[in-house]
Each structure stands twice: as structure tokens, then as C-alpha cells.
Amino acid sequence: MHNFEKWIQDNNIAEVECLVPDINGVLRGKVLPAQKFIKSERAGTLRMPSSIFTVTITGDYAGEDERAYQDPDLLIQPDLSTLRVAPGFKTPTAYVFANACLPDGTRWEASPRNILMRIIDLYATRGWTAVVAPELEFYLTTINTDPDLPLVPPPGRSGRAETSPQPYGLESLTEYEDLIEAIYEDSEIASLHLDTMIHESGTAQLEINFHHGDPLALADQVLVFKRIVRQTALRHGVYATFMAKPMAEQPGSAMHLHMSMIDSNGVNQFSDTDGRDTELFRHFVGGLQAYLPEMAPLFGPTVNSFRRMLPDHSAPINVQWGVDNRSCGLRVPIDDAQNRRIENRLPGADANPYLAIAATLIAGWLGIQDRIEPDELVTGNAYHYARTLPRTLEHAMERLALCTPVRNLLGDTFLEAFSAIKSAEIDNFQGVISSWERDHLLLKA
């Protein structure tokens, strides 16, 4: 932003939220009075502890060695191009995303936002720009303060809760019209580029489509949208959840990623002038098939993520590809040559968008570099093919640790932090006795 001070003044901003996404995609940061933010940005004195990139989803710190504990500060450099009005606050507030850097200005390699920026820069060396459009699913549920109780759909404006699937149901969508309008209003204030909202297959399950654009900007928008939806839902007396599999008998929630590639002239590199697939497109898809199964924790980051990946539950179990085939992990939508793209249907709604997009680009890059040819297109039900995705987070982490080409692109600093966090989360989960165990083992084992 050329003159951010004037923008803050013109919009009567009193406070600025400085947003730093952690490894799980949780927004952390600081809230500063507007004038202090201006002074701190000019002086380059905004700092946060480096330990924010070792925080687990439970809020604990992972991988700390008390004997060597120092927790030095990182510089927090606001990306002023992301400065926007923040909706929903009594005090006029703005938000801005920030990049974590070392004191010499070098990007901190454990930051997911920095990871994605580095992979985008890699494509730029070849004159290519990735274009992405996320589709994000989520559920509305009744307020539930007891984690031992299952989630249930909330009543709509009719006073009744949904009891059966209503995919693309317009009457079902209008049951939550007031809430949806409030989401759109706050999203417009926040300058999010939203497209269509539909009712998905699950009870009180909705999906929002984003306009295609720059991968970094879209990852930012996904996190802001999640925050808006959660807060708007609470104001309307319900929960909104982006868990991958919040209810056992309902479909999971995904974050499908539509991906294409353009050159410096804006020409789609996935299709030639005659509308045929280019060699680059085939190699990109080949890379997705070869490497996405090795990077499952980057798009399925929790133990719950893998409960979504079940046959016939609107979620893929492999990386077969097909034209307009939603049983495949990789789908080629029907469109004209300039809009040729691949849809990665693997990521869950719980995925960190920076890492899910980065994983897709890393896999595609390796496919292009190694000239990997994809498998034959699938024309039938891809669920009939063997499962190639890991079944658990623990197994997925083992595969990621052994994939050298991916590790080289992600870097040791990130992988050490990511592995420590996921190991701590797995250990924490394994320490919980589930209702299934009490139900079936208490009086039988």
C-alpha cells in the first residue's frame, strides 16, 4: 500500500491487528493502537517470539529442550498490500498479514506463509505464475460445550433442523439466509473475493467458492473467511466448524483447490492454442500423482483429517485423475482452453491453506522437473482403485519423513517444527480414551 498512513486516517482506524498464521493455520499476532502500529512499522520494531511456530493445535509448545531454551524474537514485517478493514469490531479496526523474519531480514523458514512465498518465487524463475481458486466447505451446528457429545445440525429460520441430505437445496439454503447475508456483508467489508455459496450434501453443510487469483492472497483470504464465519455464526447463536469430519454419519468438509498456470502474458500454460493438454500440464499432474500421497500431512494435518478420506463419502482415497469425475482425487473440470485447470480434491477444510497450496505446487514442480507422465485417465468410479493415501496421520508423517525431494524444498527448519508439532498432537490424542472404547470394551474386554 503506497500510503498506508493516509489509508488508516481516511478509514478512521483506531486499532490494527497484525496477523501471523502459525503452522496449523491458527491466526496469532498483536493488536496495536493505530498510531503505535504506524510508528512500529516505520521503525521496524514489531517482534514476536519464534516459539509461536512450535504451538500445537491444543495450545501447547512442542519440541522444547529446556536446557537449550532461549526463544529469541523474530521481526514481524507487515505486508501492507494486505491491509484491510476488519469487520465485526465496535472499535474501527484494520487487519494486516505479517511475515516473520530473522533480524537480518531473512524470511523465517518455519513460517507457512514464507514457505508458500518461496515456492511461488520458484515458479517465477521460469516465468510462470500459479493461479488458484479454493472451494471451502463447513458445517453449522448447535452450540455444544461438551466435547463428549456428538454435534447436531441447528434449527433454521423455520425452527426445525435438517434431518436428511439437501445438496444444492435452495430452500435449505434460505433456512440460514440471515447468517449467510451477514457472512457476505462482513466478507465484503474485509475485501474478500467470494463467488457462489451453495448447500452441500451434509445436514447444514455449506460451501463457498472464491474467485481465482494469486495463491498467497487466496490463502490469506481463506483464513480471514474462516474467522468471519466462526464469529458471525456465534452472533447468530450457532457454531461453524471447519473440521474435516465433524459428524460420523455426515460427509466430510473439503478445501478443493483449482490450480492453473499462466505466463507473463497471462496465457494458460496447461492448454495449447488448439485446446489440447500441454506437456507441462501432463507433467504437473504426474507430479501430483507421484508426490501428493507423500505429503498428506500438509493437506490433512490432524487425526480427524483422515476420517474424511473414506470411499463413497465425497472424499478421495487415491490420486487417480479424470475429466469431470468427482470420485477422483484429481479432477479436470470441463472448461475452455484459457481456463484449463486441475482440481486437487484431497485437502480437508481443516488444512492450513498456505501449506495445502504449497504442497500442490511442490508436487507439480517436481513433476515438471522430472517430466513425470501421469497414469491413464479414469472414466469410471475411482473408488474401485486401490487406496494410495495414508490411513492415519502417524503413517502420513512417516511417509513425509522419507520423501527426500519434498524435504529438500520444504527445508529442515520447517520440517523439524512441523514434525515436533504433529508428534506432540499424536501423543496427546493417543492419551484420550474415546467413547467407542468405553462403549465396546468396558464390559466385554
| 3-class DSSP assignment, residue 70 | coil
The H or E element that residue 209 is part of is strand 205-210
φ, ψ at 206 (rounded to 5°): -120, 160
pTM reported for the whole predicted model: 0.96
Beta-sheet strands, E only, within 221-357 = 239-241, 255-262, 321-323, 330-332, 342-344
φ, ψ at 63 (rounded to 5°): 70, 20
pLDDT at position 411 is 96
Between the alpha carbon of residue 214 and those of residues 16, 29, 120, 136, 348, the distances in Å are 24, 23, 9, 17, 20
pLDDT at position 100 is 96
From the number of C-beta atoms within 10 Å of its C-beta (0-12, 13-18, 19+), residue 208 rates as buried
Between the alpha carbon of residue 264 and those of residues 126, 261, 269, 415, the distances in Å are 10, 10, 10, 32
Percent of the chain having pLDDT more than 70? Answer: 98
pLDDT at position 275 is 85
**Closest C-alpha to 205, from 159, 239, 160:** 239
Pairing assessment for the beta strands 239-241 and 129-141 based on DSSP bridges: antiparallel
383's CB contacts (< 8 A; 6+ apart) are: 311, 312, 317, 327
Percent of the chain having pLDDT more than 90? Answer: 90
Tens digits of per-residue pLDDT, 137-188? 999 999 999 998 999 999 999 999 988 888 888 888 999 999 999 999 999 9
Mean pLDDT across 59-63: 89
Tens digits of per-residue pLDDT, 117-133? 999 999 999 999 999 99
C-alpha span between 317 and 390 (Å, rounded): 9
Mean pLDDT across 40-64: 91
Mean pLDDT across 237-262: 96
Kindly state the DSSP code that residue 320 receives in the 8-state scheme: -
C-alpha span between 100 and 79 (Å, rounded): 10
Mean pLDDT across 358-366: 98
C-alpha span between 380 and 400 (Å, rounded): 30
Please say whether the beta carbons of 255 and 134 come within 8 A: yes
| 3-class DSSP assignment, residue 392 | coil
Contacts of 143-152 with CB under 8 Å at 24 or more apart are 143/237, 143/238, 143/239, 144/239, 148/435, 150/247, 150/248, 151/239, 151/241, 151/246, 151/247, 152/247
Q: Is the pLDDT of residue 313 over 70?
A: no
Q: Is the pLDDT of residue 312 over 90?
A: no
pLDDT at position 310 is 85
Task: Using pLDDT thresholds of 50, 70 and 90, give the confidence band for residue 193.
Answer: very high
Q: Name residue 97's beta-bridge partners.
A: 19
pLDDT at position 8 is 96
Buried b (16+ CB within 10 A) or exposed e, 85-98: bbbeeeeebbbbbb
Q: Is the pLDDT of residue 367 over 60?
A: yes
Task: Using pLDDT thresholds of 50, 70 and 90, give the confidence band for residue 67.
Answer: very low
Task: Using pLDDT thresholds of 50, 70 and 90, give the confidence band for residue 219.
Answer: very high
The CATH code that applies to domain 4-104 is 3.10.20.70
State the average pLDDT for the chain: 94
Residue boundaries of the structural domains of the chain? 4-104, 122-410
Please say whether the beta carbons of 254 and 135 come within 8 A: yes
Mean pLDDT across 296-318: 91
Q: Which CATH number fits domain 122-410: 3.30.360.10, 3.30.70.890, 3.30.590.10, 3.40.140.10?
A: 3.30.590.10
- How many residues would you count in the chain? 445
Q: Is the pLDDT of residue 23 over 90?
A: yes
**Closest C-alpha to 183, from 163, 207, 162:** 207
Pairing assessment for the beta strands 73-78 and 194-199 based on DSSP bridges: unpaired
Q: What angle do CA 338, 344, 350 make, to 5 degrees?
A: 130
pLDDT at position 169 is 85
From the number of C-beta atoms within 10 Å of its C-beta (0-12, 13-18, 19+), residue 318 rates as buried
